Amino acid sequence: MSKQTGFAKKSFGILWDTDLTTVPKWKAMGIRLARFLFVVGRDLFVGRITLHAMSLVYTTLLSIVPLLAIGFSVLKGLGAHNEIEPMLAQFLSPLGQQGAEITKQVIGFVDNMQVGVLGFLGVGLLIYTVVSLIQKIENAFNDTWHVTEPRTLARQFSDYLSVILVGPVLVFTAVGIKASLMSHSIVTELTAVEPLGQIVELAGRVMPVLLVVIAFTFILIFVPNTKVRFKPAFVGGLVSGVIWVAAGWLFASFVVSSVRYTAIYSAFATVIFAMIWLYVSWLILLVGGCIAFYMQHPEYILPKTGQINLSNRVMERLALQITTQIAKTFYDGRTPWQLESLVRRLRVPREAVERVLLCLEEKGLLTRTADDPPSYVPGYPPDETEVKSILDAVRSTGELGQFALEKVPTAPAVKRLMADADNALEVALRGRTLKDLALGENDASSSPPTQLTATPVARRAAGGDR
């Protein structure tokens, strides 16, 4: 083993094996920050963020003209359609002169698009192209947030319509407020007074960055199909917004000095640079979503990524804990539990809770309400729900088709042993219901322990026969 490999393994061990409760606070904060940066960097270089960014580049190129056409129609009704060109030019400003050319061409396409000539099918295709862009953006952020279910059709209609119609109005309002503030007579007079003039000039430079941060924060809160708290979204929007502005300056310098690439690619250089900038922009925004996710769900900050593997014992314990919490809420008459509230209460990854809830739903032990997002209530009265039925629901998950229990070749001795174990469990839990767990009845302190005769193997496992 080389010295570099040994040093890397030692550093990795210090990062993840250190008990943060046994080290000073400053060191614990440093380790937490290092872990945070590690998982974000891992998702960037190893995860699917880059794939989502590349996919969004293609969808953006396909739907940019229809999206601007709809926004143009909305702003035209307000007499503010002339604001589209400067906003697009500002986004493409890192491309320099080529960005100005792209802006002119895209605005030309939008001006020449006549919605009345398209007909019903054309308008439908126009709206579908825009909606598909928003759906792909939602899918990318849902993957970052480990959300498996997209928005319902009703929510897609209402939420996407608000983005398409209200979004341009909000952008125009923000730009209009900025323009009116900077052109106000009081601001004009302040610029003539030093050092207030420098402060106003600095504010004018900071204002575009602030608008970008606000826009990114809004996207991080609104797009994922889950409840995103403001603080993580703002931090993610702030980091990604600052990086986006800095990347714009660097990319503009790259475009100016890329005369050789222009000579090689000729007219295609403009398209290539535009695609690269779109890719960088989406990548930065998705990294911001990753930052917000790990801030809100620190339980996902783990040394390894991938699907969470749950043992049968963990699944059983989670199932009992989840049903107990839901039954307690049922008896107390409080607001039913939702997925996010259960995740926060149990402090376990979202996928684990989702998997157990799905098992319990399939067996009818829990019922999902029609709310959006849905809540969970007992499928049967808790006093009629046996504890063993909850364990059986988890243990029998996945027994379908060729993996059905009856189709697994089993020796008679093994079958008898499994039947005896199942009968013993039924005897031990006989009379125990979900109501007992919810109300704290028949717990270990009030019931005598069952006397069992341990086998030699069990005694050796417990340290008996030495």
Q: Which pLDDT value is given to residue 288?
A: 94
CA 338 to chain centre: 17
* Cα separation, 279 vs 367, whole angstroms: 42
241 has a pLDDT exceeding 70: yes
List the beta strands (DSSP E) in 161-263: none
User: What is the crossing angle of helices 153-182 and 49-77, to 10°?
Assistant: 70
Q: Which pLDDT value is given to residue 239?
A: 93
Q: Which residue has the higher pLDDT, 98 or 145?
A: 145
Q: Which pLDDT value is given to residue 464?
A: 41
Which of 419, 406, 88, 94 has the alpha carbon at shortest distance from 248?
94
68 has a pLDDT exceeding 80: no
Kindly report the number of other CB atoms within 10 A of residue 407's CB atom.
Answer: 10
451 has a pLDDT exceeding 50: no
The winner for highest mean pLDDT among 262-276, 280-294, 301-315, 441-455 is: 280-294
pTM above 0.75, yes or no: no
CA 23 to chain centre: 32
List the beta strands (DSSP E) in 243-329: none
Kindly report the number of other CB atoms within 10 A of residue 64's CB atom.
Answer: 20
What tens digit of pLDDT does each residue of 343-397 get?
Answer: 888 888 888 888 899 889 988 999 998 887 789 999 999 998 999 999 988 888 7
Ramachandran category for residue 312: left, alpha or beta (phi over 0 → left; psi -120 to 50 → alpha) = alpha
* Cα separation, 262 vs 269, whole angstroms: 5
As a whole number, mean pLDDT of residues 299-306 equals 75
Residue by residue, DSSP assigns 345-411 as: HHTS-HHHHHHHHHHHHHTTSEEE-SSSS-EEEESS-GGG-BHHHHHHHHHTTT--GGG-GGGS---
> Which residues lie below 8 Å from residue 300, measured CB to CB, with a gap of 6+?
39, 146, 293, 294, 349
139 has a pLDDT exceeding 80: yes
Q: Which pLDDT value is given to residue 407?
A: 74
Q: Which pLDDT value is given to residue 447?
A: 41
Cross-strand partners of 338:
375
Cross-strand partners of 368:
376
Confidence class for position 27, pLDDT limits 50, 70, 90: confident
> Which residues lie below 8 Å from residue 451, measured CB to CB, with a gap of 6+?
none
Element housing 17 (H / E): helix 3-17
* Cα separation, 287 vs 237, whole angstroms: 10
Q: Which pLDDT value is given to residue 233?
A: 93
Which of 14, 163, 146, 171 has the alpha carbon at shortest distance from 81?
171
425 has a pLDDT exceeding 50: yes
* Cα separation, 62 vs 81, whole angstroms: 22
List the beta strands (DSSP E) in 112-161: none
Cα diameter, the chain: 96
Mean pLDDT over each residue of the chain, to the nearest integer: 76
* Cα separation, 233 vs 244, whole angstroms: 16
Percent pLDDT > 70 in the chain is 67
238 has a pLDDT exceeding 90: yes
Backbone angles phi, psi at 256, to 5 degrees: -65, -35
Confidence class for position 110, pLDDT limits 50, 70, 90: low
Walk across the sheet containing 366-368 and list its strands.
Answer: 337-338, 375-378, 366-368
Percent pLDDT > 90 in the chain is 13
* Cα separation, 60 vs 53, whole angstroms: 10
Which of 375, 295, 391 has the alpha carbon at shortest distance from 342?
375
Kindly report the number of other CB atoms within 10 A of residue 144's CB atom.
Answer: 25
398 has a pLDDT exceeding 80: no
Amino acid letter, residue 195? P
Helix (H, G, I), strand (E, B) or coil at 287: helix
* Cα separation, 182 vs 362, whole angstroms: 60
80 has a pLDDT exceeding 70: no
186 has a pLDDT exceeding 70: no
276 has a pLDDT exceeding 80: yes
* Cα separation, 321 vs 336, whole angstroms: 15
Q: Which pLDDT value is given to residue 240?
A: 92
Q: Which pLDDT value is given to residue 284?
A: 93
Q: Are 238 and 56 in contact (CB under 8 A)?
A: no
Which of 213, 212, 211 has the alpha carbon at shortest distance from 235?
213
What would the two tokens of residue 390 be?
């909850």
Confidence class for position 458, pLDDT limits 50, 70, 90: very low
